[in-house]
Chain A
């Protein structure tokens, strides 16, 4: 196991490095002048432009830019945002909390609902209810997330609605408000973005789980257990669900990056102060240090997710452990 972990870890590290180099290189070739983030819609004279280029390093060759950016990254320095003139690490740190909260809860709720409904659908494949669940969740998956979000805002938010239409918290809530009031406020603000994300994504784990469980349900050990009179709940969990978990583990690992960057549209619509909206804004402004910094974080998470998925896969599948 240790040898496997070392080999797999080295692979992941090399892939991460290659991906970050590719990201930095590709960003250099994006159309658009990065200094636009600073200059905006104003005229600058030649002296000022030259000074800005020298200060912000936008006149470097791509190779030079890659080398300097990588060297700075190794020192933990992701550079300074052109648009806000603040350290990229600070900007990312400010936005990471709300993004992780929304992403983690989405993952948790989506998988909890998706796996349960998927297993239930596999055990009752011919029922009308199972077909309804499949159809409704598929409609949610087919609709763009911002459309779902707008429908939810229209129906559940507003002057008479309980849920606020946007934001992470009520700015008018007193600074000395009780933890209970703060918690309630956060939950109210979280409800609609979370519901949007869940509706838009629940079909994926549901269908994966349903397909895997359907394949397992016909296996001889399930028939044998049923013949032995094993209770339905135990049959479902121990004999059907557990062996059907392997593809779900892989899926879960691949979804980890969504924790960070999977909700750009939802963050925008709900004014959620997360990393997704930071990346979207920075890309449109050509704020390259932020794009590279946040992009590298996503690369790192993709690799970590993949590594974690492989590790979990080996844990739940003994055959792999021995391979």
Chain B
């Protein structure tokens, strides 16, 4: 009895200080979980997902993608920090900063902030955008609020490149600090932004709390509080959501979706996504070139031997695409949403292998040529359950075609080292694609294949593909040109795409005006609302 009284007293003490508000004035709270502690939420010098998720609430971009996510053209984006822009010649864009924009310490946002941030972005030690911003020749302030950006060459995505990737930092607070010291400055632990939210506190390893800035120049946020809970383990994030401790959760996979659907207070929505998973095929040329996989017929046979649709359905559900080229859902403005590639054709796969000289001479079920079995090794990181599942299924299906693929599940850092060194036959790789198809050059071009530090670890090089891709940059109709490049890639099979999933996002039903973005999921949190009749105590 005494124990229960003490417990009631503690609960009462915990409830003190909460003043009930009228139903019409629900400030609202969104809690979501992230995988890492966001210790450096400063654009230009970080690109960790947790940091950028937080930075997106604090620092505005010059412009964001429009509803179609189109990246080509001077009218493709929606103004944010930049009120407008003007093209003065094929190499020059002039941006005008919105005169209402203020840093949260009251100082106006100016062209000087943009120039300072661009320099920081290009810093060889701390900058995170040197390669991305390579086409930019110069950035200069023209007066208080105008910024002139010159590009090295004309291309259709100049506006997207600079405005979407530029999130200015406050020069008046940072330019006296050496670039290398910014990460350890007081500003990094208590950033002052220009966005819809103010940084309130970070409890190390636990959470970060943000509060709406009522003076935000684009309008006071309708969601008063945002809390980012830190939970490195995916199972912990799911448990937090299922227990109702977080309100939204992205990247829900098919098995978890079944559990979430049991909750009547939660809606599952499909959002366009930039994630892509593929099996990379080593095509290093020259003396160290691959003795088997250099043959296009083998690569195509490997693709045809897989029932990729069935494999993908079990992990990402039927909404995921299974294209033949490296194209995620976010490029729907290019692909028209056509995401289904070749279906399984075991007979054709066997024919192609036979044409390449592979036959089962000894009757052991594995094809051989000149006495050597058709044996390959597929490597993938142990950090991903989805890749493990794909690997096991692919191994069984290839076996039916007479290909013996051995699996090597290795630790992530060792995986990256071996991948960069080219010590593999096949790898299960993946990543989030940039919103623009022109970014294919980073991973799939001959220039990248020649650069040992590039992302083209497969060393695939096809001059025809390069020419088609380069043509899209300046084409009057970039869509047709991009489609031609993707079709070329599909026919050459540098990789077997396993899945281009949609982002399944679980959202508590009390929210309205919910928008989730494909590359930066939580850009519009400040415009979400809570239905007063469904508000939870945390919303008041």
Per-residue CB contact flags for chain B residues 126-153 toward chain A (1 = under 8 Å, else 0) read 0110110000000000000000000000
* Residue contact B14 to A185, C-beta cutoff 8 Å: yes
Contact of B205 among A55, A94, A285 (CB under 8 A): A94
Q: Which residues of B contact A281 (CB under 8 A)?
A: 36, 232
Q: A55-B125, A157-B243, A174-B17 are in contact. Are A180 and B184 (CB under 8 A)?
A: no
Asked if A51 is at the interface (CB within 8 A of a chain B CB), the reply is yes
Nearest B residue (CB) for A268: B233
B:211-262 near A, CB below 8 Å: 227, 229-233, 235-237, 239-240, 242-245
Distance of A159 Cα from B9 Cα, bound (Å): 23
Say which one of A82-90, A123-131, A237-245, A302-310 lies at the interface with B.
Answer: A82-90
Distance of A128 Cα from B180 Cα, bound (Å): 67
Asked if B78 is at the interface (CB within 8 A of a chain A CB), the reply is no
Q: A42-B128, A165-B236 are in contact. Are A184 and B11 (CB under 8 A)?
A: yes
* Residue contact A31 to B229, C-beta cutoff 8 Å: no
* Residue contact B183 to A85, C-beta cutoff 8 Å: yes
* Residue contact A165 to B124, C-beta cutoff 8 Å: no
Distance of A176 Cα from B19 Cα, bound (Å): 13
Nearest A residue (CB) for B207: A171
Say which one of B413-421, B499-507, B514-522 lies at the interface with A.
Answer: B413-421
Q: Which residues of A contact B39 (CB under 8 A)?
A: 84-86
Asked if A33 is at the interface (CB within 8 A of a chain B CB), the reply is yes
Distance of A166 Cα from B236 Cα, bound (Å): 6
* Residue contact A178 to B16, C-beta cutoff 8 Å: yes
* Residue contact B180 to A173, C-beta cutoff 8 Å: no
Distance of A49 Cα from B203 Cα, bound (Å): 33
| Chain A interface helix/strand/loop/mixed | loop
Q: Which residues of B contact A175 (CB under 8 A)?
A: 201
Q: Which residues of A contact B231 (CB under 8 A)?
A: 166-167, 271
Contact of A30 among B48, B413, B454 (CB under 8 A): B413
Distance of A177 Cα from B15 Cα, bound (Å): 8
Per-residue CB contact flags for chain B residues 433-464 toward chain A (1 = under 8 Å, else 0) read 00000000010000010010111000000000
Distance of A54 Cα from B227 Cα, bound (Å): 38
Contact of A284 among B16, B237, B412 (CB under 8 A): B412
* Residue contact A158 to B242, C-beta cutoff 8 Å: yes
Asked if A191 is at the interface (CB within 8 A of a chain B CB), the reply is no
Distance of A83 Cα from B209 Cα, bound (Å): 22
* Residue contact A32 to B416, C-beta cutoff 8 Å: yes
Asked if B67 is at the interface (CB within 8 A of a chain A CB), the reply is no
Q: Which residues of A contact B100 (CB under 8 A)?
A: none
A:160-176 near B, CB below 8 Å: 161, 164-169, 171-176
Per-residue CB contact flags for chain B residues 1-28 toward chain A (1 = under 8 Å, else 0) read 0000001011101111110000000000
* Residue contact A43 to B131, C-beta cutoff 8 Å: yes
Asked if A98 is at the interface (CB within 8 A of a chain B CB), the reply is yes
Distance of A286 Cα from B413 Cα, bound (Å): 7
* Residue contact B245 to A32, C-beta cutoff 8 Å: no
* Residue contact B235 to A43, C-beta cutoff 8 Å: no
* Residue contact B233 to A49, C-beta cutoff 8 Å: no
Q: A41-B455, A84-B37, A177-B17 are in contact. Are A172 and B131 (CB under 8 A)?
A: no
Contact of B31 among A172, A180, A184 (CB under 8 A): A172
Q: Which residues of B contact A178 (CB under 8 A)?
A: 13-14, 16
Q: A31-B417, A158-B242, A164-B245 are in contact. Are A180 and B205 (CB under 8 A)?
A: no
Asked if B538 is at the interface (CB within 8 A of a chain A CB), the reply is yes
* Residue contact B245 to A167, C-beta cutoff 8 Å: yes
Contact of B48 among A40, A44, A49 (CB under 8 A): A40
Contact of B206 among A40, A273, A278 (CB under 8 A): A273
Contact of B204 among A51, A95, A185 (CB under 8 A): A95
Distance of A80 Cα from B125 Cα, bound (Å): 14
Q: B199 → chain A, closest Cβ, in Å?
A: 14
Nearest B residue (CB) for A84: B39
Q: A36-B416, A47-B124, A268-B236 are in contact. Are A42 and B14 (CB under 8 A)?
A: no
* Residue contact A273 to B455, C-beta cutoff 8 Å: no
Distance of A212 Cα from B417 Cα, bound (Å): 50
* Residue contact A184 to B17, C-beta cutoff 8 Å: no
Q: Which residues of B contact A173 (CB under 8 A)?
A: 14
Asked if B295 is at the interface (CB within 8 A of a chain A CB), the reply is no
Distance of A161 Cα from B414 Cα, bound (Å): 41
Distance of A44 Cα from B448 Cα, bound (Å): 11
Q: A297 → chain B, closest Cβ, in Å?
A: 16
Q: Which residues of A contact B131 (CB under 8 A)?
A: 42-45
Q: Which residues of B contact A98 (CB under 8 A)?
A: 205
Q: A86-B39, A153-B239, A173-B14 are in contact. Are A284 and B383 (CB under 8 A)?
A: yes
Nearest B residue (CB) for A170: B245
Distance of A174 Cα from B538 Cα, bound (Å): 10
Asked if A48 is at the interface (CB within 8 A of a chain B CB), the reply is yes
Q: A260 → chain B, closest Cβ, in Å?
A: 15
Distance of A150 Cα from B243 Cα, bound (Å): 13
Asked if B408 is at the interface (CB within 8 A of a chain A CB), the reply is no
Asked if B492 is at the interface (CB within 8 A of a chain A CB), the reply is no
* Residue contact A171 to B453, C-beta cutoff 8 Å: no
Q: A88 → chain B, closest Cβ, in Å?
A: 12
Distance of A84 Cα from B37 Cα, bound (Å): 9
Q: A286 → chain B, closest Cβ, in Å?
A: 5
Asked if A252 is at the interface (CB within 8 A of a chain B CB), the reply is no
Nearest B residue (CB) for A159: B244
* Residue contact B47 to A40, C-beta cutoff 8 Å: yes
Q: Which residues of B contact A45 (CB under 8 A)?
A: 130-131, 453
* Residue contact A180 to B240, C-beta cutoff 8 Å: no
Contact of A43 among B232, B242, B448 (CB under 8 A): B448
Q: Which residues of A contact B18 (CB under 8 A)?
A: 174
Distance of A31 Cα from B412 Cα, bound (Å): 10
Q: A84-B40, A174-B18, A273-B204 are in contact. Are A44 and B453 (CB under 8 A)?
A: yes
Interface pairs (5), CB distance under 8 Å = A85-B183, A165-B236, A168-B205, A180-B14, A269-B233
Per CB-CB distance, the 5 closest pairs between chain A and chain B, nearest first, are A273-B205, A32-B413, A181-B14, A85-B183, A94-B204
18 extra A-B contacts, CB within 8 A, seeds A33-B417, A85-B184:
A41-B455, A43-B455, A84-B183, A165-B236, A165-B240, A165-B245, A166-B231, A167-B206, A172-B227, A173-B14, A178-B14, A268-B236, A271-B229, A271-B230, A273-B230, A281-B36, A284-B411, A285-B413
